[in-house]
């Protein structure tokens, strides 16, 4: 007769065998490219010639580069606008649809989710046209009600908040779906019991809804954090980093360093610094919010 330990060992081996194809693909297409990228960041990389080893010079040179600090600042300014907007709109729409008693909720939900299905190129071109100071619809209606519209995409003061708003319009629909799933997982009995105890909607939101939605909020927050700090497409299409370098974020600076200056080693260094920033903030979010809801 086989012992319990032998059966457990056999089950572990079988499980690892089932996992092995995924692990091989993960190593080939995730870990290996990341490792190779770090290797490139330690060299003055030339894809067709000699690539001398420079150690961490590519990293240290960035700290004396004013354009790097400008891009880093722009990245955090954009993220400070975009991340709260995306999460707040997604949660607000989810709460409104949860409390709505209309038969058209599914249609409204589909309409709110639809922008997320659009490609970043479509979103960027569409909003660049809508915000154009000469032919754009939004400036036209602002003038029609008697105000002078700001030059949204050509003003250093407005450009990053404007792109953040466009990103929120584009991405909040998916966060809404995530939050809707979290809300639907909360038992209605909890709200009914709290109502009997005299708790109003605001008290219920902070005492029941938010604590029990921790997993959904954490997932959406990390997803939005990565999107906010690594944004490229919207900025590249709508402003190309302008006016001047007022909207040049780290991802765009990395792109230009690689494909305009052909400094692939330093571009890889920028990428790893961006990765480190995202990783550290993500870990802080996990520590702050926790991985479990108050229900489990």
| Domain topology for 61-289 | MetI-like fold (1.10.3720)
Nearest-angstrom CA–CA distance, 275 and 227: 12
Q: What are phi and psi of 43, to 5 degrees?
A: -130, 155
Out of 32-46, 60-74, 94-108, 219-233, which region has the weakest mean confidence (pLDDT)? 94-108
Q: What is the pLDDT of residues 182-196, one digit of tens each?
A: 999 999 898 889 888
Per the listing, tokens 């008697």 go with 146
Q: pLDDT at residue 294 above 70?
A: no
pLDDT tens for 101-113 read: 777 888 999 999 9
pTM of the model: 0.90
pLDDT at 8: 81
Q: Domain-by-domain residue ranges, the chain?
A: 61-289
Between 10 and 66, residue with greater pLDDT = 66
Both structure tokens of 180: 């809707």
Q: Which of 291, 281, 284 shows the shortest CA–CA distance to 80?
A: 281
**Residue 119: HSE in the Cβ half-sphere, 13 Å Cα cutoff:** 4
pLDDT tens-digit map of 127-176? 999 999 999 999 999 999 999 999 999 999 999 999 999 999 999 999 99
Q: How confident is the model at residue 295 (pLDDT cuts 50, 70, 90)?
A: very low
């Amino acid at each position: 007769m086989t012992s319990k330990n032998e059966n457990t060992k056999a089950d572990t081996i079988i499980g690892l065998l089932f996992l092995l194809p995924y692990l091989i693909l993960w190593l080939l297409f995730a870990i290996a490219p990341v490792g190779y990228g770090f290797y490139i960041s330690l060299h003055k990389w030339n894809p067709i010639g000699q690539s001398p080893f420079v150690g961490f010079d590519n990293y240290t040179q960035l700290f004396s580069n004013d354009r790097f600090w400008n891009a880093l600042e722009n990245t955090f300014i954009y993220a400070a606008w975009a991340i709260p907007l995306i999460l707040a709109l997604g949660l607000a729409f989810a709460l409104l649809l949860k409390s709505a008693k209309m038969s058209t909720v599914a249609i409204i939900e589909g309409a709110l989710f639809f922008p997320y299905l659009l490609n970043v190129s479509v979103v960027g071109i569409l909003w660049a046209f809508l915000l154009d100071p000469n032919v754009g619809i939004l400036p036209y209606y602002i003038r029609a009600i008697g105000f002078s519209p700001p030059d949204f995409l050509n003003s250093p003061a407005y450009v990053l908040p404007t792109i953040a708003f466009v990103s929120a319009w584009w991405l909040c629909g998916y966060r809404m779906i995530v939050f809707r799933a979290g809300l639907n997982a909360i038992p209605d009995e909890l709200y009914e019991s709290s109502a009997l105890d005299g708790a109003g909607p605001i008290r219920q939101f902070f005492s029941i809804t938010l604590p029990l939605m921790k997993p959904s909020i954490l997932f959406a927050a990390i997803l939005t954090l990565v999107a906010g700090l690594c944004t490229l497409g919207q900025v590249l299409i709508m402003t190309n980093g302008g006016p001047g370098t007022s909207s040049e974020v780290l991802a765009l600076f990395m792109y230009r360093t690689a494909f305009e200056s052909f400094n692939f080693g330093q571009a890889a260094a920028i990428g790893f610094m961006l990765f480190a920033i995202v990783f550290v903030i993500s870990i802080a979010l996990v520590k702050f919010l926790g991985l479990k809801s108050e229900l489990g």
